[in-house]
Structure 1
Amino acid sequence: MTSDGPPEEAVAPPLREPAFNLPGSLVVILVVLVAIHAIRTYLLPVALDADILFNFAFLPARYDTSGVTYALLNTSMAWLWSPITYSLLHGSWEHVIFNGFWMVAFGAPVVRRIGLVRLAVFWCLSAGAAVALHVVFHWGEMTFVVGASGVVAGLMGAAARFVFSPSGRISRQFAHLNRRLSIGEALSNRSVLMFSGIWFLTNLLIGLGLFAVGGAGAIAWEAHIGGFLFGFFLFSLFDPRR
């Protein structure tokens, strides 16, 4: 008996998706974040770490020209770079791990889609957008803001534009190849709306003090929203796929 199909031994077995398949650039970012916190925690004197926090964490009071401490806070150019550098510092190991987990989940498809150079620009601008909204609600406050949460929220907002297909289904391995949904399509996509609704509800509960992440201290939930909105509405500026 003959068959027109290929011989049985020529049919390749289906490939299994690896459990961990992260872009190399994302791995480097995670290693850098862990290394920075490890050095601050275990190697630097307390006084030096406090100096790093003062010069590289985001502080809303730096921008209040009417504040009595304005001149003291701006003896350096920290007001210029701290809206970006704060995203490289964290308050605890729990804080690092929490942000790293969500960065792996939502950062991987975004990194595969836009590449390292665009990711660097996206990181800087989403970090700035996150604290821009934060400072609106905390103008002049002397409370440091640290952590990559705003950037992670931006990655979540960006991922919401393409990881869900028009039918609402999601593909883990090839999500970065999906067509980018327009803002109108995304806002009418049931899966996107459900994902975004749960995300905003969680941050609202954080703002009301009903939910917190252990070890992270006070959570800058406004910065999360600023980052998410930036990623969701402006992702098309970074996306090479049409």
Structure 2
Amino acid sequence: MSQEHDTTDNGPVRPPNEPVFNLPNVVLAMLLMMVAIQVALDSVLPRAAVLEIYLQTAFIPQRYALGISGQAGPYLWSPITYSLLHGGYTHLALNSFWLAAFGAVVARRIGWIRFLVFWLLSALASAALFLVFHWGDQTVMVGASGVVSALMGAAARFAFGDGGGFRRDRAHLNRRLSLTQSLANRTVLGFLVVWFVINMLAAVGFSFGIADSAIAWEAHVGGFLFGFLAFPPFDPLER
């Protein structure tokens, strides 16, 4: 998004603070897509069509115990398409908030093409770890939480800076930290500890009062580890 700055006879007027919702186009597009899908599932399509969409596009571990025969489409695309579906507006709102917060800083750093590739691969990584823990289950997993977790992991490598500070408008320009430097950074380490504690609480059944069903903590961990460990190849900025 571009901004216009006014001038006066005394020179340029100081530009206003950056809008809170000045999101990169790719992040805004993904948010709008997820909202449109949720509205269609909740308010537009008949129930039979909604159930069929979930069956064809949600991630269901049982598919992979049965093999690809007779289900080639969902077998191949559901490890990605599940990340665009949600279990309701509360689930969607929560993921959208964190996507806007962490997706924006990552998208500004790596650009929209890398961002979309990162989305696809982090969705796969999240689904893969979930599959390890739920092999053969009929559990249905939907939501962008795994991708959002991967974006959090990626942001942890650069967004907090060497000194642990964070400026929303300039965080994407920080030097990327090595793994050793990241773990030595107090802010990054604190962020990691809090993040993993929250997800371990989810693992033992604590829902934080926001979920109507179990939280897919395995997908969160898979996504976060992918983002934290595999971010360097996506990073176009030199050290």
TM-score by length of 1: 0.90
What 5-or-longer segments of structure 2 have no aligned partner? 1-9
Question: What's the offset of the Cα at 1:222?
Answer: 0.5
Aligned match of 1:34: 35
| Other structure's SS at 2:19 match | coil
Asked if residue 176 in structure 1 is aligned to residue 172 in structure 2, the reply is yes
Note the C-alpha offset of 1:211: 3.1
Matches within 5 A, 1:83-232: 83-212=79-208, 214-232=210-228
Give the unaligned 5+ runs of structure 1: 1-8
Q: Secondary structure at the match of 1:171?
A: coil
For the residues of structure 2 that align with 1:215 and 1:45, how far apart are their CA atoms? Answer: 24
Contact 2:122 2:147 in 1 (8 A): yes
Distance 1:203 1:63, change over 3 A: same
What secondary structure does 1:18 align onto? Answer: coil
Aligned partners of 2:92 and 2:51: how far apart in 1?
18
Question: C-alpha displacement at 1:14, in angstroms?
Answer: 6.1
Larger Rg belongs to: 1
SS at match of 1:240: coil
Distance 1:214 1:220 in 2: 13
| Structure 1 residue 77 displacement after superposition | 2.1
The structural deviation recorded for 1:12 is 5.1
More deviation, 158-167/19-28: 19-28
Alpha-carbon distance, 1:10 to partner: 4.6
Q: How big is the shift at 1:213?
A: 5.2
- Report the CA distance shift for 1:32/1:161 in structure 2 as closer, same or farther (over 3 A): same
Matched-pair contact (CA < 8 Å) for 1:88–1:146: yes
Q: How many residues are aligned here?
A: 230
Normalised by the length of structure 2, the TM-score is 0.91
2:235 corresponding residue in structure 1 = 239
Q: Which stretches of structure 1, 4 residues or longer, exceed 6 Å deviation after superposition?
A: none
CA–CA separation in structure 1 for the residues paired with 2:82 and 2:97: 19
For residues 107-159 of structure 1, give each alpha carbon's deviation from its aligned partner in whole angstroms, at most 9, with x where no partner exists.
10001111111011100100000011111111110011000000000000000
* Residue 13 of structure 1: how far off its partner (Å): 3.4
Q: Is this contact kept in 2: 1:212–1:219, CA < 8 A?
A: no
CA RMSD of aligned residues (A): 1.8
Percent identical across equivalent pairs? 51
